[in-house]
Amino acid sequence: MYYKLSPTIALRSFKGVSHCYYRKDKDTASYLNDQEFEFLLLCDGEHDLEGSELTENFLRKKMIVPCEKGDHPTEWSCYRHYDNKYFPKMNFMITGKCNCNCLHCFNAADNAPLMSEWKYEDALDLLDQARDVGIHAFTITGGEPMVHKHFMDIMHAIYERDMIVDELNTNGFFITDEMLDELKSMGCDALIKISFDGIGYHDWMRNHKGAEKITLDAIKRCINHGFRVMAQTQVNAVNSDSLLPTLKLFDEIGVRQVRLIRTTEASRWFQNAGGATLQMDDYYERMLTLAKQVVENNLNIDLMIWLFMRLDNILKTYQITPITCRDGEYRPTAPVCKGTRGMIGVMSNGNLVPCIQMSGSLEELGIRYENVHEHKLKDLITESSYLDAVCTNLHKLRKNCKKCDECKYFKYCCGGCRGIGMICSMDKVEKGYHPDYYGPDLARCLFFSQGWYKKITAAFPDHENLSRAIDLEEE
């Protein structure tokens, strides 16, 4: 019997990752053992294979299909090896321009609008380079990505290269029925992440009159076209009273994923409304109260609360976000941030950043990594200061942060968010520290020292805790 790889499966290997495969609609690769990998290599339409447990397993998973002799897999599916490190995703800021001038924008170090933008021809070249190093999925962001006159051309170009857009960040102003139909026609099923900052407050945060109605209409339009939508909402002292009514509205119109983000200490936010930033203990208190209200009101949403918890009130489960490693999972060789280790951040001016959310603060500090206009992408993920940063492991973090090294909770939090650690260590720049990676995440420190793990578990006795930590339960 002859078999070939399914057209939705691509066999791959990278430096340090010898056996894996991409599934067309997934953003990251899955691993294979030696036996599985060798078997799939033979699924090329040329080898007569006997029936086996492996055969049945891969047929059941729709990873292979029966075929006639000589019927080969697609070019994309065929095995490829990349002699660079494995990076499955790219966060691609195609433009820094935006039709809004949001009070809290983290992309800039001041109130000056960002004007850098990718030329279309240069963007196509970067997409070619991304394909050639084995990147599979993109988050497309800005600024507002849809102000780029070649936005749809770039989207088409990604799919023409057998890559996908996994997430699209937008304010929703330019979403039309025709655009959504065109995205569907190219095979795009991206999670559309739309910013909405509370009933009665969205216009203020976005610095744009009429933004609230436009954004809500865009959310409804995406849902009506069958796209998954995540509403992303800022949380601060000004708009916090609007959050429950806003969540009720989301539930009513069919938004099932919501991400709440404490408006952070970005330079622009301090200039415009610094006094509105919630202190972490106040933020935790308000978020716990809100999460309990979600349960009490039986809202059908999956609520992600930045730095605190994820409450899936649909599945009746929750995860405690500061628990990065559960009991027995800690590895000193693990990266300090799985997100930055798996996703290359490319700014609108070509600068690489470990995390797009760090961009304005890095600029303010004068910290600059390499630029893809000046170096080939393959070279930058083979050897560069950027690569050194994103490959920083937990052992190295402990060596450079005494507070983390001496903390009994480190095996659970793994040092927390490096973006917050950077902000917390800005005063040490002149002392030779790496403020973007080695500072303690004081928000995470506060979470553990004030016993928030037990407060959360006590608040949701009827939901399953997916991030249990035995030591914390026994304290």
pLDDT for the residue numbered 273: 77
Q: Are residues 73 and 167 in the same domain?
A: no
**Using CA atoms, how far apart are residues 396 and 126, in angstroms rounded to an integer?**
32
Q: Are residues 177 and 216 in the same domain?
A: yes
Q: Are residues 66 and 152 in the same domain?
A: no
Is residue 373's pLDDT more than 60?
A: yes
Q: Which range, of 183-192, 214-223, 272-281, 404-413, averages the lowest pLDDT?
A: 272-281
The mean pLDDT of 208-220, rounded to a whole number, is 96
Task: Tell which of 278, 308, 326 closes a domain.
Answer: 278
**Residue 233: which domain range?**
87-278
In a domain, 233, yes or no: yes
Q: Are residues 249 and 149 in the same domain?
A: yes
Is residue 429's pLDDT more than 60?
A: no
Q: Which of 179, 180, 223, 172 is nearest to 202 (CA)?
A: 172
Confidence of residue 201 (pLDDT cuts 50, 70, 90): very high
Q: Are residues 46 and 106 in the same domain?
A: no
Q: Are residues 225 and 109 in the same domain?
A: yes
**Using CA atoms, how far apart are residues 470 and 475, in angstroms rounded to an integer?**
9
The mean pLDDT of 297-306, rounded to a whole number, is 97
**CA triple 387-389-392, angle to 5 deg:** 105
| Model confidence pLDDT, tens digit, residues 225-279 | 999 999 999 999 999 999 999 999 999 999 999 999 998 766 777 777 777 989 9
Confidence of residue 145 (pLDDT cuts 50, 70, 90): very high
Is residue 130's pLDDT more than 70?
A: yes
> Which structure tokens are listed for 410?
């480190």
pLDDT for the residue numbered 24: 95
Confidence of residue 111 (pLDDT cuts 50, 70, 90): low
pLDDT for the residue numbered 366: 73
Report how far apart, in Å, the C-alpha atoms of 398 and of each of 333, 440, 442 are. 11, 10, 15
In a domain, 67, yes or no: yes
Looking at every residue in the chain, the average pLDDT score rounds to: 92
Percentage of the chain surpassing pLDDT 70? 93
**Using CA atoms, how far apart are residues 172 and 178, in angstroms rounded to an integer?**
14
The three-state DSSP-derived secondary structure of 112-157 is CCCCCECCHHHHHHHHHHHHHCCCCEEEEECCCHHHCCCHHHHHHH
Is residue 113's pLDDT more than 50?
A: yes
C-beta of residue 175 within 8 angstroms of C-beta of residue 152 = no
The mean pLDDT of 422-445, rounded to a whole number, is 68
pLDDT for the residue numbered 431: 47
**Using CA atoms, how far apart are residues 182 and 380, in angstroms rounded to an integer?**
34
The mean pLDDT of 342-362, rounded to a whole number, is 87
Is residue 105's pLDDT more than 80?
A: no
Q: Are residues 250 and 137 in the same domain?
A: yes
Is residue 364's pLDDT more than 80?
A: no
Task: Tell which of 278, 305, 334 closes a domain.
Answer: 278
Q: Are residues 38 and 103 in the same domain?
A: no
Q: Are residues 35 and 115 in the same domain?
A: no
C-beta of residue 154 within 8 angstroms of C-beta of residue 125 = no
Confidence of residue 108 (pLDDT cuts 50, 70, 90): low
H/E run at residue 390: helix 385-390
Is residue 83's pLDDT more than 90?
A: yes
In a domain, 250, yes or no: yes
> Which structure tokens are listed for 5?
């790889």
Higher model confidence: residue 408 or residue 470?
Answer: 408
Is residue 420's pLDDT more than 90?
A: no
The mean pLDDT of 40-54, rounded to a whole number, is 95
H/E run at residue 66: strand 64-67
**Domains contained in the chain, number:** 2
Q: End-to-end CA distance of the chain, in Å?
A: 60
Percentage of the chain surpassing pLDDT 90? 78
| Model confidence pLDDT, tens digit, residues 15-34 | 999 999 999 999 999 999 99
The CATH number covering residue 130 comes to 3.20.20.70
Task: Tell which of 256, 278, 300 closes a domain.
Answer: 278
Q: Which range, of 36-50, 208-222, 248-262, 344-358, averages the lowest pLDDT?
A: 344-358
